[in-house]
Amino acid sequence: MKLEQSESYQVNRRRFIGTSSVAAAYALLGGVELTPAQETEKPVEHEPAGPKVKCAVIGLGSWGRELVNTLLRIPQAELAAICDTYPAALKRAAGLAPSAKPIQDYQSVIADPDIAAVLVATPTHLHKEIVLAALRAGKHVYCEVPFAHRIEDARQIAQAAKAAYKQVFQAGLQYRSDNQRLYVQRNIRSGELGDFVMVRAQWHKKQSWRAASPNPEREKALNWRLDTELSPGLVGEIGIHQLDQVSWFLNRLPLAVCGFGAVRAWDDGRDVADTVQVIMEFPGRLRLVYDATLGSSFDAEQEIYFGTNATVVLRESRAWMFKEPDSPLAGWEVYAKKEVFVPGNETGIVIAADSSKQIMHIEPTQQPAVPQKTALHQALEAFIGNCAEFSAEVQDFTDAYGQSDRATFEQHMAANFKPRPAAGYKEGLIATVIALKANEAVRTGRQIEFNREWFELS
């Protein structure tokens, strides 16, 4: 299970938020919304000039089907195969993508020379074997996060991705490709918020995490998230995206983490906590307080960055800035759209790429930009686009210059290949380490200090 929900779910949530007291609350608080510029990267409206990227999705659970659905909307992607060991899952996904070849054995997918890229969305503990085989076969790989349920396995994946320097490897941290969050990240790092005093993040959704199954064997395979030995837990499976975002935005690696967890809502014999709290310490005595629960949907998910000059609130694809009365005037916010939030009647400044003073000066009444594409859509577009352009550059390089040493090749690519924003193996490993250690803290109830070597590769 991943943080981002399906687009239909998002739409429903957006409607809900738009009319709920939550939206009204932020609206009345007076936030300035932060949104990215709309003109910078218009969607491609025609067929791509180059050949399509033939790809396959391995693992067809709910998230794997979300990948399938999204790939089908990306013109440059050709979904050539779908793969799952469970026939019913394969059949269900085949209904979404009838032109994709259904395959039960992932090795057959990897052995197909026509398939250039594979997207791995199997249960977390099954990633390693498939990803390593795909990289060995020369495939581009998109691997969901966390990379693995054990740090040693995650390191093996990252190490193999690092070695495969003529292939594209992307970690499934879709926020890293999201225009809106890329914009907010620049805003947060600009220093405009002053010194950070604390960060708060949450994910609340009422759902059991237990799936119905026809027999005990399938039940065990299907409900791996409820298996203590295999599950990265709520903070590992869900929280990884938000914890990574905080580390990314702050540009700091955590120093220590402590956590708490309990089965509060779904006492069906499970040991994996359905409600967790985590406190993570970053350099500068800056702490993140995070909580997640499967027992309540109230207040959904959000991240709040508290600064001495201003606070930024992110909710799904929107963000607002709330300035302190004594903070200096940056200038652009004068022209930015503002919404009043309750409780507190505070004014939020919309943070969006379109909130640049130039754009907003021209069109002060324009509505806040609601991204047309989910973070996942943007992440997969980045993956497919990077696969196509990287492969083309490799081919042109080889045609012109023949084989070369790795240093020369990487020097050429650094100068001539500008990838779309996406998380790579380094970011994926860091996020996995943070999430798995946070889950370990939750399970054991003890504080864990991060060793910087955990984040580094040889």
Partner 1 sequence: MHIVTKTRRAAPATPARPCVWHRLCLTVAFVGIGCVVFAADTAQQTGESVGGRVRYDSQPGSLVQIDGTSNIHDWTVKGGVIKGFIEADAEFPASAAVPGVKPPRVEVTIPVRTLKSQVAIGAKKMDEIMQEHMNMAQWPNIEYRLVELLPKQTNSAAGTTFQFDAVGALTVSGVTRTNRMPVKIERVGQDKLKVTGSTNLKMTDFGIKPPAPALALGVIKTGDDVTVRVEWVVAQLTRPDSATTAK
Contact residues for partner 1, defined by CB under 8 A: 37-42, 44, 46-47, 49-50, 359, 385, 392-393, 396-397, 399-402, 404, 408-409, 411-412, 415-416, 418, 420
Neighbour tally for 142: CB within 10 Å = 28
Residue from 102, 101, 44, 50 nearest 73 by CA: 44
Identity of the residue, 409 or 454, whose beta carbon is nearer to partner 1 in the bound complex: 409
Identity of the residue, 48 or 194, whose beta carbon is nearer to partner 1 in the bound complex: 48
Tokens of 292: 């997640």
Identity of the residue, 196 or 397, whose beta carbon is nearer to partner 1 in the bound complex: 397
d(CA 444, CA 99): 47
CB of 359 to partner 1, least distance (A): 8
Ramachandran assignment for 288, one of left (phi > 0), alpha (psi -120 to 50 degrees), beta (any other) = beta
**Measured in whole angstroms, how far is the alpha carbon of residue 339 from the centre of its chain?**
27
CB of 190 to partner 1, least distance (A): 16
Identity of the residue, 362 or 457, whose beta carbon is nearer to partner 1 in the bound complex: 362
CB of 55 to partner 1, least distance (A): 20
Identity of the residue, 39 or 267, whose beta carbon is nearer to partner 1 in the bound complex: 39
Identity of the residue, 110 or 422, whose beta carbon is nearer to partner 1 in the bound complex: 422
Contact between 89 and 61 under an 8 Å Cβ cutoff? The reply is: yes
**Measured in whole angstroms, how far is the alpha carbon of residue 383 from the centre of its chain?**
13
Instruction: Give the C-alpha distances (Å, rounded to integers) separating 342 from 27, 110, 299, 345, 348.
Output: 6, 53, 14, 5, 10
Identity of the residue, 15 or 186, whose beta carbon is nearer to partner 1 in the bound complex: 186
CB of 46 to partner 1, least distance (A): 8
Identity of the residue, 58 or 336, whose beta carbon is nearer to partner 1 in the bound complex: 336
**Measured in whole angstroms, how far is the alpha carbon of residue 312 from the centre of its chain?**
19
Identity of the residue, 41 or 299, whose beta carbon is nearer to partner 1 in the bound complex: 41
Instruction: Report CA dihedral (165, 166, 172, 178) to the nearest 10 degrees.
Output: 100
**Measured in whole angstroms, how far is the alpha carbon of residue 330 from the centre of its chain?**
30
CB of 376 to partner 1, least distance (A): 19
d(CA 350, CA 353): 10
Tokens of 151: 């740090």
CB of 402 to partner 1, least distance (A): 5
CB of 47 to partner 1, least distance (A): 8
Neighbour tally for 96: CB within 10 Å = 16
Identity of the residue, 96 or 413, whose beta carbon is nearer to partner 1 in the bound complex: 413
Identity of the residue, 326 or 399, whose beta carbon is nearer to partner 1 in the bound complex: 399
d(CA 383, CA 421): 9
d(CA 38, CA 323): 24
Identity of the residue, 20 or 40, whose beta carbon is nearer to partner 1 in the bound complex: 40
